Structure 1
């Protein structure tokens, strides 16, 4: 038996077809690391700008007001007289302060809109009304008591 080596068909440009997915993967990794770096820098700037009196939310969802800032820890007041220490990295974001202009809106500018119902609506309501038997006619009948045992002792 004799084996003959036949040349394989080439697709032409085999190096580029192998290199393109590798370039895409490297590009995605670079883009993701760049985004994470920006987020870390933003969080570091937020922590560096903390001052007493600033309202913050921690990464665990605790809302508090900054009382003291140390090298590693931030002391938050989460309730009246309740102070808790958190690691600086646990500060998630600063809650923006509301301005008085946004809170105190004039109430006299509100427009009251009334919706008028057509006269045919009264006729339609009478047609759709469900007849309920007169409850006063059965005053002599005793209603069935519930089947559950009483929850308290009756005298």
Structure 2
């Protein structure tokens, strides 16, 4: 009797299947760190652009106008005559001026660019009798009952408190 050594069937590609999750984890960490780096750079640009008169909101929600900037601190006027000194890193965002935003929204339109629909006018004449006929007045039936006889559920309000 002769014994033959037969190799066992392998799944093939064992190294790649073990390496793929590691590559995915490293890729996720790299992507997240890149996003955080961009966010830190945006915050640094915002803080560097602070000038007196700029309206800002701090990370804690305090709204004020920049009065003075130092290397590490910003002095904000939160109310008339009330000054507060905060760390530059506490500046969350800059509030745009209303005047600049209004100028962008209300851009003047030249006469050549006026839409054709605004140049034509239409006069509509209505009769009060026609308007009264269009109004849907429900029948004076039971409360919660529609004109076609179907019963409508009354709206339910959520409970205002819970009982123990």
Residues 5-44 of structure 1 mapped to structure 2, 5 A cutoff: 9-44=9-44
The runs of 5 or more residues in structure 1 that have no matched partner are 1-5, 132-155
Q: How many residues align?
A: 123
Q: What TM-score, normalized by structure 2, do the two folds share?
A: 0.61
Matched residue, 2:78: 78
Per the alignment, residue 145 of structure 2 pairs with none
Q: Please, what TM-score do these two structures have when normalized by structure 1? A: 0.64
Aligned-partner SS, 1:128:
coil
1:105–1:23 CA distance, 2 compared to 1 (3 A):
closer
Q: Deviations over 1:22-62 (max 9, x none)?
A: 10110010000001011111111111221111111111111
The RMSD of aligned alpha carbons is 3.5
| Displacement after TM superposition at 1:96 (Å) | 1.7
For each residue in 1:115-155, what CA deviation from the matched residue of structure 2 results, as whole angstroms up to 9, or x when unmatched? 96895552464853649xxxxxxxxxxxxxxxxxxxxxxxx
Change (3 A) 1:118 1:27: farther
Higher RCO, Cα 8 Å, sep 6+: 1
- In 1: Cα distance, 2:136 partner to 2:14 partner: 82
